Amino acid sequence: MGIRVTDISKSYKNVKALKGITFDVKEGELFGLIGPDGAGKTTLFRILTTLLFSDEGEATVAGYDVVLDYKDIRQSVGYMPGKFSLYQDLTVEENLNFFATIFGTTIEENYDLIKDIYIQIEPFKKRRAGQLSGGMKQKLALSCALIHKPKVLFLDEPTTGVDPVSRKEFWEMLKRLQKKGITILVSTPYMDEAALCDRIALIQDGGILEIDTPESIVHKFPKALYNIGANNMYQLIRSLNNYEHLYSVYPFGEFVHYADKRPAFNIADLAQYLDAQGLKSFSIEPTKPTIEDTFMELAKK
Amino acid sequence: MNTIAYIVQKEFKQIFRNKGMLPIIFILPILQLVILSNAATYEVKNIKFAYVDQDHSSTSRALVDRFNASSYFNVMTTFPSHEKASSAMLLGNVDVVLEIPKHFERDFIKEKASRLGITINAIDGAAAGVESGYINQIVQNFNKDLKVTYVGLSNKTPKPVNILSIPSFWYNITLDYKTFMVPGILVLLVSMITLFLSGMNIVREKEIGTLEQMNVTPIRKSQFIIGKLFPFWVIGMGLLTIGLILAKLIFDVPMVGSLLLLYGYTSIYILVILGMGLFISNFTDTQQQAMFIAWFFVVIFILMSGLFTPIESMPEWAQLLTEFNPIKYFVEIMRMVMLKGSGFSDILPLALKTLAYAIVMNGLAVWSYKKTA
């Protein structure tokens, strides 16, 4: 009864934005769509929120068909687009009131649901939405999306352009909403946020690479992974790229993540090679793969 | 119903909070009415008049005096030759040149006829036409008087019956162009402002992304459109009221007909304009595009409305086109009701056309407004 997507395809003129996507989101699940910009996440959101027709395939949201029962869907979903799209010239309170009225409800009726979030922006309720800070705008947008007590919540890149503290707070809010039985579909380009979802779908170029829990996705990385640091990053990556036993190498913060082709990999061998390449004060340590590593690995194929 | 009321309330809040928009809505139209009504005139005054007198007779001097006496002409200079006069006209120093040939007086007495040369700068065709009319009038009067002086007494043949026409200008006795222009300009204000505002309004929601947010709510198409457009209907009626008050106070334009009728018609007319605005905003993505398209139509509508040039003098195809010009109807009705005191049955045919237009236009607009963009 959460979300069911079956073979959804959508093309714009000559770009295929979605190529036969299929997945299910269980009721009450926090499901993440993880992928780079242009992967087709927003298109999928627009189809599921009845803003766009798919070319092929079917989808249901909260048990309603996105084409036939669009009216029921609009009554029972909350949508927070990636771009802040509330009335900037109305105050916080007026925006919230407006959306409540449109959904035929009042702030008081569903105050329980938004209380945690709204209480943080309530001191500014007389302020115009356009004058709020990024984090507060986002809280207001979430409040407006929740005001009618939706069964399913769609959040399209809600944390893009938001500071790390607010991001963390935002995900805590999502976890609390999930406990109240709301199904949440959230998209993000940030791999670190993916780990906070119940399940994630890695999506690229309109296709799904993998769907699983974050833990299982991490285990899908086929090789042992090493964290390598050195004094000269650029030279380090270049040297590793020329190394005959290289499986993959990606920069990862101040280190690079390196995987080797050979099943029996010896750190000393690589150290010798790097030394011969003239690199100094390097370190090689085994590390655990992250979702980003898996994504890069899957995206390669 | 509650939803519509709330949207209307929201729209008004937004309109009155938009500090850049308020003066555009209320102050600019008033300025336009005052400035345009005073400046847009059909009268041609202060015509720069020069003459070349080669006759130097008492008759030729009398003719020049006639021009001198007219308030329309500023008799500036006399030129010794045709060439000098022509070069002065080329430089733009002179609008009209009167050439009195040699033996003007003698020919008139002897042969009962004489010739005059008149050159008019016709770069502005309309003005040239008016100037030509003035000149003809002066010359003809002069001619009549001359006949009495030289010909009349000696002429034994029976005089032709003198047909004299005394025009009486109905509905605008003093031919005051302001009486004619003010109602027309009032129409412009109501039309322009409501078209621009309604055209840009829904596009604005598209631009800032709120339209998408609205589209995922259960709100109905009709509710949204009515809620969005109703405030502009009110503003249109408000502008009409302000305009009428100014017309009375500043220009003392006669208001012979029923104001109720005028308001009744305007309430239908604004629906046409709002439908157009909505139609435009459906086919544009930015306020800029909407503005340009609205502007394009407004200019055509104004120039083909009969406000500045009479529709009767347009070519056939253009006259046909004006049938689709809502501003034409409004200008006509405004003048009919205000100046002539036309009643309900007089304006009914035009009002019905407007109503049909409103229904078609809004039908098209709603049809093209797709909720799933």
User: What confidence tens digit (pLDDT) does each residue in B61-110 have?
Assistant: 888 888 888 878 887 778 888 888 888 888 888 888 888 888 888 887 77
Domain boundary among A202, A218, A234: A218
- pLDDT of B171 reads 61
* Whether residue A114 is found in the same domain as residue A15: yes
Q: What integer best gives the mean pLDDT of chain B? A: 83
Where residue B86 sits, what CATH number does that domain have? 3.40.1710.10
Cβ distance B216 to A50 less than 8 Å, yes or no, reads yes
- pLDDT of B373 reads 43
* Whether residue A14 is found in the same domain as residue A57: yes
Instruction: Report if residue B161 sits inside a domain.
Output: no
Instruction: Report if residue B168 sits inside a domain.
Output: no
CB A174 within 8 A of CB A9: no
* Whether residue B264 is found in the same domain as residue B299: yes
- pLDDT of B160 reads 46
| pLDDT tens column, A204-237 | 888 888 899 988 888 888 888 888 888 888 888 8
Where residue A253 sits, what CATH number does that domain have? 3.30.70.100
* Whether residue A97 is found in the same domain as residue A235: no
Instruction: Report if residue B166 sits inside a domain.
Output: no
Cβ distance B18 to A102 less than 8 Å, yes or no, reads no
* Whether residue B53 is found in the same domain as residue B35: no
- pLDDT of B308 reads 77
* Whether residue A133 is found in the same domain as residue A227: no
Instruction: Report if residue B246 sits inside a domain.
Output: yes
* Whether residue B249 is found in the same domain as residue B102: no
Q: Both tokens of residue B331? A: 């200008």
Number of domains in chain A: 2
| pLDDT tens column, A91-130 | 999 999 999 998 888 888 888 888 888 888 889 989 999 8
* Whether residue A87 is found in the same domain as residue A171: yes
| pLDDT tens column, B2-57 | 788 888 999 999 888 888 778 878 888 888 888 887 776 666 778 888 888 888 88
* Whether residue B53 is found in the same domain as residue B22: no
pTM of the model: 0.75
Where residue A160 sits, what CATH number does that domain have? 3.40.50.300
| pLDDT tens column, B301-354 | 988 888 877 888 888 898 888 888 999 999 889 888 888 888 888 889 999 999
Cβ distance A75 to B13 less than 8 Å, yes or no, reads no
Q: What ipTM does this complex have?
A: 0.76
What's the first-to-final CA gap in chain A, in angstroms?
A: 33
Domain boundary among A173, A192, A218: A218
Task: Give residue A197's domain range.
Answer: 3-218
* Whether residue A296 is found in the same domain as residue A184: no
* Whether residue B122 is found in the same domain as residue B231: no
* Whether residue A105 is found in the same domain as residue A245: no
Number of domains in chain B: 2
* Whether residue B12 is found in the same domain as residue B29: yes
* Whether residue B82 is found in the same domain as residue B12: no
Domain boundary among A160, A186, A218: A218
Task: Work out the average pLDDT over A287-291.
Answer: 85
Taking the Cβ of residue A84 and every Cβ of chain B, the question of whether any pair is shorter than 8 Å is answered with yes
Q: Both tokens of residue B109? A: 């007495």
Q: How many CA atoms lie within 13 Å of A84's alpha carbon, on the beta-carbon side? A: 22
Instruction: Report if residue B226 sits inside a domain.
Output: yes
Q: Both tokens of residue A175? A: 């976890």
SS (H, E, C) B81-125: CHHHHHHHHHCCCCCEEEEECCCHHHHHHHHCCCCCEEEECCCCH
- pLDDT of B371 reads 47
The owner of tokens 């990606």 is: A250
- Nearest by CB: A49 against B2, B208, B216: B216
Taking the Cβ of residue B12 and every Cβ of chain A, the question of whether any pair is shorter than 8 Å is answered with no
* Whether residue A105 is found in the same domain as residue A206: yes
- pLDDT of B372 reads 40
CB A15 within 8 A of CB A182: no
Taking the Cβ of residue B8 and every Cβ of chain A, the question of whether any pair is shorter than 8 Å is answered with no
Cβ distance A90 to B213 less than 8 Å, yes or no, reads no
CB B73 within 8 A of CB B134: yes
CB B273 within 8 A of CB B358: no
Q: Which of B16, B213, B217, B372 to mutate to test the interface with A (most CBs of A within 10 A)?
A: B213
- pLDDT of B175 reads 56
Residue type, B47: I
* Whether residue B131 is found in the same domain as residue B236: no
Domain boundary among B152, B182, B207: B152
| pLDDT tens column, B170-221 | 665 555 677 778 888 888 888 988 999 888 888 888 888 888 888 888 888 8
Cβ distance B6 to A102 less than 8 Å, yes or no, reads yes
Instruction: Report if residue B158 sits inside a domain.
Output: no
- pLDDT of A253 reads 81
* Whether residue B22 is found in the same domain as residue B67: no
* Whether residue B207 is found in the same domain as residue B342: yes
Instruction: Report if residue B64 sits inside a domain.
Output: yes
Task: Give residue B74's domain range.
Answer: 47-152
| Residue A62 C-alpha, separation from nearest chain B C-alpha, in angstroms | 15
The DSSP line for B275-299 is HHHHHHHHT-SSHHHHHHHHHHHHH
Q: Which residues of B201-220 are buried (b: 16+ CB within 10 A; e: fewer)?
A: bbbbbbbbebbbbbbbbbbe
Specify the 3-state DSSP secondary structure of B369: coil
- pLDDT of B42 reads 64
* Whether residue A170 is found in the same domain as residue A238: no
* Whether residue A183 is found in the same domain as residue A77: yes
CA nearest neighbour of A117 among A170, A74, A62 = A170
Instruction: Report if residue B255 sits inside a domain.
Output: yes
| pLDDT tens column, B120-176 | 888 877 778 778 888 888 888 887 777 766 655 555 444 444 455 555 656 655 556
Lowest mean pLDDT among A38-52, A251-265, B274-288: A251-265
- pLDDT of B170 reads 65
* Whether residue B66 is found in the same domain as residue B211: no
* Whether residue B252 is found in the same domain as residue B344: yes
* Whether residue A140 is found in the same domain as residue A243: no
* Whether residue A96 is found in the same domain as residue A193: yes
Q: How many CB atoms lie within 10 A of CB A180?
A: 11
